[in-house]
Structure 1
Amino acid sequence: MEAGVKEAGRLVDLWNKWGIQILVLISFTLQVFLLIFGGVRRRSSSNALKFFLWSAYLLADSTAIYTLGHLSVDDQSNEHELVAFWAPFLLMHLGGPDNITAYALEDNTLWLRHLQTLAVQVLGAAYVIYRYVAGTATLLLLASISMFVAGFLKYGERIWALKCGNIGSITVSKFKPDPCQLLSMGTSEEEILLGAHSQFDICKGAFADIIMLPNPSLLSRSKPRSVVSYMGEDLFKLVEMELSLMYDFLYTKKAVIHTWYGFCIHFISLLGTATTFLLFQIIIGSNRGDGYSRVDVVISYMLLVGALVLEIISVCRALLSTWTCSVLHRRGKAWEWPLHVITSFSRRVHPASRRLWSGSIGQYNLFHLCTRNRNEIGTRLAMKLGLQEWWNKKHFSGTFSRTSSLSIQDLKKLVLQALQDKDRALQDKDTDLDSRGSFILKSMEAYDDFARWSVNIHFDESILVWHTATELYLRKSKAKHANDLTEAAEVLSNYMMFLLVVKPDMLPGAARCNVHLASCEQIEGQCHMCFGDKENPVAASPVSWQPYCILKEFFHHDGPNPSRIPLREKLAEMVWSFSQFALGTVKAPQPHGESIRDNANMYAVLLADELLGIESRWHEQRDPLELILGVWVEMLLYAARHCSQESHARQLSNGGEFITIVSLLAHHFKYYSGASRGIGNLSKNNMMSENKPISENDENLV
């Protein structure tokens, strides 16, 4: 006991003597961590990475604020006189690195709170300098003032970036994007990235809910077919890069850096940091430097060198970025030589490839969930803590990137083809962009009773019914299906179910993430009625207490996988058999009428029976899976078009979502074809003229 008290006393003494030094080093370390890893989440949705970034983002501000406050109230001994010199560095730390200003979209709306914090912390730093540095050597005072100005500007730059990162602050240029620019560029990734910059206003208009329509002269020169035929699947790269630029706009300082005042801030900040470093060198080299603590001198050098290196990296990133290339490209031939220098360097580091989407989509299967082992430690613990729904979402969801017969590129082709088909039909005034499956059903002459209601009920219930029907059809069908067609239908079905359960805010309408629970409970109840405890596909297996199995369960996603397909087949057969007696008694529900989620399984069986009937009528002339796949693609397009823009924006900080890419691709088609009536950029609060060639934003660019 006494030994523990003595050890605690030593720790207290250590903290009292070196607490400020420790906090300052922690603050600097957090800045380095954010600089290195702050931009990784653009392409990654790792939960571990998000946790560490979130922790570092919050700790960076709180540590700097606490340390600055501690400096303003503590009396410093002559030995630790340099400690007060660190106050301006903490202001610079509060400014944060350029590649992360906001962790979440909501942080941008708190810019006024940060502005108030700026006022308080600037006054605190000024007080520390006045109280502890003003009466010392003149050179140290000059070095502190120089660093104070740099820190003040960096913190102010961050707050201005937060203000500009609001969706409500997004404005588009009066100089509308010209699709013909894409036709004049190459198809390398660097050239596509420049094209993404030239078409970026379409992306900004989509997120700001501004209707973007090209000038009549552009409509006469460019059609979607010409752009699509030239770029093909590269259109997805264009859209992915535009979303990456939007991430920069919302979550980093890019909206401020590439303006004339942003350039001035960087120049002054670098100059101030370099001046501080030179002045400190002179101070340490003089006799005056012998009176400082050696530890404090070392920490001061670490802060100075670190700040100088971070500023040099920031300036180089700003000057050599593709944002600068885009500005120089618009300036014309007079700026060709610096543009050539920057692009030559960029080709060596390949910045364009880092702006592409990671290429994986979420998966969630209702039948896979129903076959879970309820005796697993994680499941039992979640039930005890009341976190079963959260555990099911996190643990039983998976991802898909590719298999031997299907890849994300194949899914992109399906979406692109569906958009082209709809665009052609729209020109003939024969379709509705808001169809949720009726277009493909009508085109394949399958828009009869049950098929009609299944795409006109509540959207979340429509997803649930079609998901279950797809699973039942795949297990009951006797026809020979192509592997890629089977996998594509199943992957899109699981993806829409993933959005419904895990990310319901990405779907239109009310976010009813628990709409599937009634179906799951019905299936499990039917299993107990049919099988009892013997050969029950949803019966709990014996619990495993092996450490390896427990760790694997907690840290491994048990998403849809081939290992449980036999159980899913057995489950599908049971659901089918259990519902057969009701096929002739259940009537089709009224579109958008009463909820059917309590009887979703029954309606799914009816729909699956209808699909099997279509299979028998077509006699292998066509595959019903083409119909199912077409419905899923249409549902994806519908959800992409009607998802709120804030939901799309939030997902940009979590690695992005396929549905967001599809949404922006649809906006490009709409813009290129001039599908809506009227000419010009329209919004609820603003009617912009189309006569001015350059916007106010363009005039501020470097």
Structure 2
Amino acid sequence: MELPIPKIVQRLWEAWNFRVFIILSLLLQALLVLAPPFRKRTRSKLLLMFIWLAYLLGDWIATFAIGLISKSQEGACEPKGREDLMAFWASFLLLHLGGPDKITSFSLEDNEFWLRHLMGLIFQVLATAYIFYQSLTDQSKIWIPTTMVFVVGTIKCVERTRALYLASLSRFGYSVLPEPNPGPDFKQAIEIYSSMRTVEMEMQTPEVGANPVYNWKPLEEIQLLEEAYRLFEIFKGLIVGLLLSSKDRELSRDFFLTRTATEAFRLIEYELNFMYEVLHTKVNVVRCPTGYLFRVFSFILILAALVVVSIKERFVFGDNKFDVRLTYALLIGALGLEAISVLMLIFSDRTLLALRRSWRKFIPKIILTRTRWSRSVSKYDMISYCLNNDAPKWMDTLVVYLGVKEILEKVKIWRFSSSGPVSGDLEEFIFEELRMKSRTANNLRAAMDACSQRGDWALLQNSGAIYFKVKWRIVEYQYAESLLLWHLATELCFLQETEIKSEADAKSREICKLLSDYMFYLLVMKPVLMTPVLGNWQIVLQDTCAEAQRFFGRRFKSEKSEACKQILEVKTKFRPIVVKGNKSKSLLFDACRLANDLSGLEISKWKLMSQVWVELMSYAAINCRPNVHAQQPSRGGELLTFIWLLMNHLGLGTQFYEQERQAGTKMVPQK
């Protein structure tokens, strides 16, 4: 039974179907070539989703168009004698399947499916070859340029598949392993060892806390780039869970202790950009002698194909002006996209590193100083989350029935959330806190202890009395509970205090508020970043929100400031668990008690709370899975990932092993 489709629609589809898809494929390739820089520098979910759709549709449309062309050669929708032109277009679609150099994968999962991608490309290459074979007749006029484009398309497909394979975590982990080292021949060594005797030697050990003398002179931008690449080559094994030696830790730690906050964050920015290139681009495939040769070879072949087609234009196209324009658009588009890729290759960070020092003075400063991440964080607060959650019960019931409650909640948070800049003051505060902690971590055990702190170290640094007064808000709760507790207390204190005593307090207040809202946003929108330390945080969150909504429901709906004022007016002399029991996991009035305690401190509560937030944030960063951190540079970057890598460079990570030190004895020949 045929569908009731009008004849005119059928004729239009038969005449224009694959032509429309070819145009769409070319437009998507242009978008994918230009999109990667924005992908690294934006946090806009709409833009990232748009790039993701272009990435998926690019492959799907090219594959579908090849199938349509193959079918058109078997049917009667195209006039006879045009098979060679169809084969020529199909070769361009194969080139599009190879994808641009700067976006081989959208996520790390795409790299893991490299074998599936390989099988798909093999079938597409065979299908295109079959179309080409069918077009080889005595009337073929452009089989030479078709062969040229087909060869270029095959090269592009091989490059993309190899790039996906090299970026897969298993293959990447293998590539970062050191060269095999069997050590000295044991049989010969035992014979020599038996003929020697030991003598005691006086070993000079460095004083605890003493660091080598390093150059404190500020580094130029190109020097920062060089150091970042050196560090990336050493620390890239962190992505796959590789343990680094204590020697690498000490050298990196001593270097970062001599840097400023601006230099440290700039180094991390460069390093994460190198990580992005290795995992999501063709950098490992293109940046080698064979890759450079293929680039030149491909450009020459496409240019030669353009020349041949222009010579035989009248014999190939006849009077069909649209096919002429489409073919030239494909040829010129391929040349243009190839030229853009070459320019991106020339002005990339790795090319700048390869230049001789005498040539670097001609590098425009804007190339080095361009931003390589969004320099912003998303933020949201729990009071707004509770106040904006006023949907009717029938809608909640329908949402639960349809199973889309979590999706709608995230859409609501995304709608009401905002973003804040990562300022120089914020970078300096975070760096100074981590550097202070690094100076006390003189060995791996001390570093492990420092990484396990989630606020209590900050309390101890200020005052022992404050620690014993407030410590129960940290040590008696799981991490996620402690995070929600301090977040609510921060919000209550922020809205309660309207007059700021000093400029330093004002700066600390803004930093504290930003970090608090940022961590809450990560908790509800990106829990994968904190999965290893969360526990039953959903129960605590829903119970706290339920109590807050019930409390607000007794009064008129108001602004956040009025809502917080109402909460703080409740007397909290006794702990809620004593009054209500432990059936509910709500932390609303525990946070009220904490806010009142913090407001009564004699020292600056905002600096203290900011220090606690840095510890809470660093605890989540160092416990997050490394492959999750590796995903973030392709999504605009994440401050939590910066802190993870910065902590490792300061020697505060957990992926280090104690390297064997030389014994205090020496073997000498026996007399």
**Which TM class, normalised by the smaller chain length?**
0.7 to 0.9
- Give 3-state SS (helix, strand or coil) of 2:367's partner: coil
1:131 alignment partner, SS class: helix
Question: Which letter maps to 2:274?
Answer: L
1:359 to 2:359 alignment: no
2:512 maps to what in 1? Answer: 489
CA-CA distance at 1:294 after TM superposition: 3.1
Matched, 1:172 2:176: yes
Q: Distance in 2 between matches of 1:565 and 1:389?
A: 20
1:249 aligned to which of 259, 278, 281: 278
After superposition, residues 435-446 of structure 1 pair within 5 angstroms as 435-443=453-461, 444-445=463-464, 446=466
AA partner of residue 369 (structure 1): Y
Could you tell me which amino acid in structure 1 is paired with residue 460 of structure 2? K
Please give the alpha-carbon distance, in whole angstroms, between the structure 1 residues aligned to 2:368 and 2:510.
31
Number of the residue aligned with 2:450: 432
Aligned to 1:697: none
| In structure 2, distance between residues paired with 1:382 and 1:488 | 40
Q: Deviations over 1:286-310 (max 9, x none)?
A: x634647332222111111111222
Which range moved further: 442-451 or 42-51? 442-451
Matched, 1:660 2:660: no
Deviation at 1:477, TM superposition (A): 6.9
Q: Which amino acid aligns with 2:622?
A: R
Write the distance in 2 (CA, Å) between the matches of 1:597 and 1:202: 48
What is the alpha-carbon distance in structure 1 between the residues aligned to residue 315 and residue 303 of structure 2? Answer: 21
- Name the counterpart of 1:698: none
CA contact (8 A) 1:28 1:93 kept: yes
C-alpha change, 1:92 and 1:346, in structure 2 (3 Å) is: farther
1:95: Cα distance to partner? 0.6
Given candidates 96, 100, 103, the residue that maps to 1:100 is 103
- Maintained 8 Å contact 1:80/1:293: no
- TM-score (normalizing by structure 2): 0.81
Within the alignment, does 1:398 sit opposite 2:414 as a pair?
no
Map residues 539-558 of structure 1 onto 2, 5 A cutoff. none
Cα distance in 1 for residues equivalent to 2:655 and 2:410:
44
Q: Does structure 1 residue 148 correspond to structure 2 residue 143?
A: no
Report if aligned partners of 2:302, 2:335 keep a CA contact under 8 Å in 1.
yes
Deviations 1:125-169 (A, max 9, x none): 1111110135434x6222111111110010111111111222333
Question: Is the Cα contact below 8 Å between 1:34 and 1:97 reproduced in 2?
Answer: yes
Match of 1:630 among 601, 604, 611: 611
Match of 2:561, as an amino acid?
Answer: P
Instruction: Give RMSD over aligned pairs.
Output: 3.5
In 2, the alpha carbon distance for the partners of 1:346 and 1:173 equals 34
Shift of 1:172: 3.2
Q: Is the 8 A contact 1:41 1:654 kept in 2?
A: yes
Change (3 A) 1:319 1:526: closer
Residue 262, structure 1, aligned to residue 291, structure 2: yes
Match of 1:691 in 2: none
* Aligned twin of 1:670: 651
Moved more, 39-48 or 190-199: 190-199
Change (3 A) 1:196 1:568: farther
How far the C-alpha of 1:656 sits from its partner, in A, is: 1.0
Task: Give the equivalent residue in structure 1 for 2:200.
Answer: none
Distance 2:57 2:317 in 1: 34
Q: Which residue does 2:430 correspond to in 1?
A: 415
Query: Match of 1:432, SS?
Result: helix
Matching of residue 46 in structure 1 with residue 44 in structure 2: yes
Alpha-carbon spacing, 1:143–1:679, altered in 2? closer, same or farther (3 Å):
farther
Q: Tell me the CA shift for residue 441 of structure 1.
A: 1.8
The Cα of 1:283 is off from its aligned counterpart by 2.2
Q: How many residues end up aligned between the 2 structures? A: 605
1:518 match? 543
1:512-570 deviation digits (Å, cap 9, x = unpaired): 56342210110121233xxx3xx5236xxxxxxxxxxxxxxxxxxxxxxxxx4423433
User: Normalising to structure 1: TM-score of the pair?
Assistant: 0.78
Distance change >3 Å, CA 671–CA 573, structure 1 → 2: closer
- Equivalent position amino acid for 2:136 in 1: V
| 1:571, distance to aligned residue in structure 2 (A) | 3.9
Distance 1:289 1:475 in 2: 74
Question: CA offsets per residue over residues 228-287 of structure 1, 9 Å max, x none?
Answer: 434442110110121122112212212221123322332222222122222223322xx6
- Amino acid of the residue matched to residue 490 of structure 1? K
Q: 3-state DSSP class of the match of 2:378?
A: strand
Q: Distance in 2 between matches of 1:266 and 1:210?
A: 34
Instruction: Give CA deviations for 1:6-63 in whole Å, capped at 9, x if unaligned.
Output: 9x54333222112222221111111111111233110102122122212211111111
Question: Matched residue of 2:244: which SS?
Answer: coil
Contact 1:189 1:353 in 2 (8 A): yes
Could you list the per-position Cα deviations for residues 478-510 of structure 1 after superposition, in whole angstroms to 9, with x for gaps in the alignment? 996521122222221111111111111111334
State percent identity of aligned pairs: 29
Q: Is the 8 A contact 2:478 2:535 kept in 1?
A: no
Question: What are the within-5 Å matches in structure 2 for residues 304-453 of structure 1?
Answer: 304-326=331-353, 328=354, 336=356, 340-341=358-359, 343=360, 346-347=363-364, 350-372=366-388, 374=390, 386-387=404-405, 388-401=408-421, 408-427=423-442, 432-443=450-461, 444-445=463-464, 446-448=466-468, 450-452=470-472
Deviation at 1:65, TM superposition (A): 0.5
Unaligned runs of 5+ in 1: 330-335, 402-406, 539-563, 590-594, 681-702
Identify the residue that residue 504 of structure 1 maps to in structure 2: 527
Residues 464 and 291 (structure 1), Cα distance of their counterparts in 2 relative to 1, 3 Å cut: same
CA change 1:597–1:363 in 2 (3 A) is farther
Aligned residues of 1:505 and 1:511 also touching (Cα < 8 A): no
What is the identity, as a one-letter code, of the residue corresponding to 1:282? I
Q: Which segments of 5 or more consecutive residues in structure 2 lack a partner in the other structure?
A: 180-210, 662-671
- 3-state SS of paired residue (1:272): helix
Partner of 1:303: 330
Residue 83 of structure 1 contacts residue 296 of structure 1 at CA under 8 Å; is this kept in 2? Answer: no
Q: 2:557, 2:606 → 1: CA distance?
A: 27
CA distance in 2, matches of 1:670, 1:150: 47
What residue in structure 1 maps to residue 202 of structure 2? none
Give the match for residue 15 of structure 1.
13
Asked whether the equivalents of residues 237 and 356 of structure 1 are also in contact (C-alpha less than 8 Å), the reply is: no
